[in-house]
Amino acid sequence: MAVAPPLQCTARGAPRPETQRMKGLFITFEGTECSGKTTQAQLLADRLRQLRMPIRLLREPGGTPIGEEIRHTLQHSHANAAMTPEAEMLLLNASRAQLVREVIRPALAAGEIVICDRFYDSTVAYQGYGRGLDPKIVQTVIDFAVGDTRPDVTFLLLVPHEVSEERRLARQATLPFIRDRMEEADRSFFERVITGYHAIAAAEPARVRVIDGTGDIQTIHNQIWALTLPLLKRGVFAT
Ligand code: TMP
């Protein structure tokens, strides 16, 4: 079995500096509410596990005990109604800084495939474009939180706002209601988030692969699988 050299690409396609070479593969999923990214992250993880690949499936905010507490504060806590955009952005990046150091870097160094349901593109789209925070400050805080830990590939699932709303209402009708502060924003906020995601994809087309999230689950999965396979063939996972 020929083993190809480890993956060494940064988000922008430039080789990682020697000191930061990681053996694993870092995949992130992004998208607006109810775009299907969580389902697709799970399907990809399941398929890779069936091939006996070492998988770490994570989510943001969250993914560590500290991060899950921050998630609760951000989304569900009764005490969060007055949260400012600045506090929100810093809490998200506190969760991220913890996740990167506690889980993602060790997993990548051990040669695992890390799949993360949201990462820093969410902050650019939601806090930068959505909340209107200064993009330079948002980027500085993200850079501080993640350092050189950048996704190799990002699957961005996009659905129009009406589709998000339809799916969210359908989900609410079947599940017990749990208040989520993030979902309380108005339509114009979510439209700015979509604009932000388009801008992110345009700026980094090699890393960010845009996927139409309105298709059926299996078709989207097949599309994501077709984009993932070449990465496996290039990396340490080549068989
Ligand atoms: P989700 O995991 O169900 O998508 O919920 C996470 C929520 O948090 C979602 O509304 C998007 C939001 N979020 C941000 O606003 N900025 C971020 O950086 C991240 C990771 C999530």
Task: Give the start-to-end residue ranges of the domains of the chain.
Answer: 23-232
Q: Give the Cα separation of 196 and 218 in Å (integer).
A: 27
Which numbered atom of ligand 1 lies nearest the CA of 183?
10
Q: Give the Cα separation of 70 and 95 in Å (integer).
A: 6
Q: Which of 118, 167, 180 to mutate for ligand 1's pocket (most ligand atoms within 8 Å of CB)?
A: 118
CA 92–ligand 1 middle distance (angstroms): 8
At residue 83, what is the residue type? M
Q: Give the Cα separation of 144 and 94 in Å (integer).
A: 10
Is the bond into 61 cis (omega within 30 degrees of 0)?
Answer: yes
Task: For residue range 78-111, list pLDDT tens digits in order.
Answer: 999 999 999 999 999 999 999 999 999 999 999 9
CA 216–ligand 1 middle distance (angstroms): 23
For the residues 124-140, what does the mean pLDDT come to?
98
The values of phi and psi at residue 167, to 5°, are -65, -40
Between the alpha carbon of residue 211 and those of residues 30, 116, 159, 160, 177, the distances in Å are 10, 17, 9, 12, 29
pLDDT on residue 236: 61
Six token digits for residue 172:
């609410």
Q: Which residues line ligand 1 (CB under 6 A)?
A: 33, 59-61, 92, 117-118, 122-123, 126-127, 182
Q: Give the Cα separation of 91 and 68 in Å (integer).
A: 11
Q: Which of 100, 119, 122 to mutate for ligand 1's pocket (most ligand atoms within 8 Å of CB)?
A: 122
**Residue 4 scores a pLDDT above 70:** no
Q: Which of 86, 126, 189 to mutate for ligand 1's pocket (most ligand atoms within 8 Å of CB)?
A: 126
CA 118–ligand 1 middle distance (angstroms): 7
Residue 69 binned pLDDT confidence (cut-offs 50, 70, 90)? very high
Q: Which residue, 151, 152, 163, 82, is CA-closest to 122?
A: 151
Which numbered atom of ligand 1 lies nearest the CA of 31?
4
Say which CATH class 23-232 falls into: alpha beta
For the residues 21-37, what does the mean pLDDT come to?
91
Q: Give the Cα separation of 52 and 88 in Å (integer).
A: 38
pLDDT on residue 233: 84
For the residues 64-74, what does the mean pLDDT come to?
98
Between the alpha carbon of residue 85 and those of residues 57, 61, 66, 185, the distances in Å are 28, 15, 20, 12
At residue 26, what is the residue type? F
CA 3–ligand 1 middle distance (angstroms): 37
